[in-house]
């Protein structure tokens, strides 16, 4: 296994408020890696630091062996580092299909637009049924499917997803996680930030537990899930 994405000693924050303290992680090729922790632990800031939405003060981000710490979010997306942000951030007045097409904005993704559209509709048949419908009229579950589908249209090497199940009914969350497992089984590398700790640890391969901006524990997800100290101290389960 080789690490497609690495964080080495990353520190950052907002203004004078430091949020991350020496965070180091690795996302291995072909695996689903999850980042879990309580609210305010720094999970979303970690994703933003990787993408360059907030700039690391110290440390480095490496992608496919290259130092990308100072690259823009746009440049990283062109390379195949793709983030599905918390809150979906869809174009509500555009149709489902138009939103998906917006995901394939880079020259790299444009080359495989039709093929990726077919793949997205294969993973999410509901989106094909709704392809002429405006995104703003979809249900919450359908909007999350569309957000993930738009990420897939960018032809990701690593797909990062921030809070997949946020605001969704449990049955919809389980359905989306099942689709993520199919994507992983098809070879996609996934890095997931998730509030539903049970689902995240059940379906991922490797887990990091973040608390107060620091990695407190890491290991195979099934081992982290069994660690009573971690469950009580950091995860609230």
Q: Does the pLDDT value for residue 231 go beyond 80? A: no
Q: Does the pLDDT value for residue 123 go beyond 70? A: yes
Mean pLDDT over residues 121-134, rounded?
Answer: 96
Q: Give the pLDDT confidence score for residue 237 in this predicted structure.
A: 60
Helices then strands, counting H and E runs in the chain, come out as: 11, 10
Q: Give the pLDDT confidence score for residue 235 in this predicted structure.
A: 67
Q: Give the pLDDT confidence score for residue 131 in this predicted structure.
A: 97
Strands, DSSP E only, in 42-90?
58-63, 66-67, 81-84
Mean pLDDT over residues 112-137, rounded?
Answer: 96
Task: Please name the residue ranges forming H helices in the chain.
Answer: 43-51, 73-79, 96-103, 107-110, 113-123, 125-129, 140-153, 170-185, 197-203, 221-226, 228-230
Q: Give the pLDDT confidence score for residue 38 in this predicted structure.
A: 85
Mean pLDDT over residues 58-87, rounded?
Answer: 94
Report residue 177's pLDDT band, with 50, 70 and 90 as the boundaries.
very high
Mean pLDDT of the chain: 93
| 185 Cβ contact list (under 8 Å, min separation 6) | none
Domains (range + CATH), the chain = 1-80+188-237 (3.40.50.300)
Q: Does the pLDDT value for residue 104 go beyond 80? A: yes
Find, among 181, 191, 179, 93, the residue nearest to 133 by Cα.
Answer: 93
Q: Give the pLDDT confidence score for residue 167 in this predicted structure.
A: 84
Q: What whole-number percentage of the chain has pLDDT above 70?
A: 97
Measure the CA–CA gap between 71 and 122, rounded to whole angstroms: 33
Q: Give the pLDDT confidence score for residue 86 in this predicted structure.
A: 81
Q: Give the pLDDT confidence score for residue 192 in this predicted structure.
A: 97
């Amino acid at each position: 296994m080789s690490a497609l994405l690495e964080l080495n000693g990353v520190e950052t924050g907002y203004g004078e408020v430091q949020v991350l303290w020496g965070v180091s992680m690795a996302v291995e090729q072909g695996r689903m890696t999850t980042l879990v922790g309580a609210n305010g632990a720094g999970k979303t800031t970690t994703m933003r630091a990787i993408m360059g939405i907030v700039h690391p003060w110290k440390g480095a981000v490496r992608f496919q062996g290259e130092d990308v710490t100072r690259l823009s979010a746009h440049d990283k997306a062109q390379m195949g580092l793709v983030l599905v942000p918390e809150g979906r951030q869809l174009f509500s007045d555009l149709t489902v299909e138009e939103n998906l097409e917006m995901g394939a904005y880079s020259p790299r993704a444009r080359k495989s637009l039709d093929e990726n559209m077919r793949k997205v509709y294969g993973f999410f048949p509901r989106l094909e049924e709704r392809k002429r419908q405006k995104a703003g009229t979809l249900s919450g579950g359908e909007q999350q499917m569309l957000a993930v589908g738009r990420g897939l249209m960018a032809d990701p090497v690593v797909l990062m997803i921030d809070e997949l199940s946020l605001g969704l009914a449990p049955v919809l969350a389980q359905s989306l996680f099942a689709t993520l497992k199919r994507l992983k089984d098809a070879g996609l590398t996934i890095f997931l930030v998730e509030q539903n700790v049970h689902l995240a640890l059940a379906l991922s391969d490797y887990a990091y537990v973040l608390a107060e901006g620091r990695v407190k524990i890491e290991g195979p997800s099934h081992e982290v899930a069994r660690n009573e100290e971690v469950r009580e101290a950091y995860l609230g389960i």
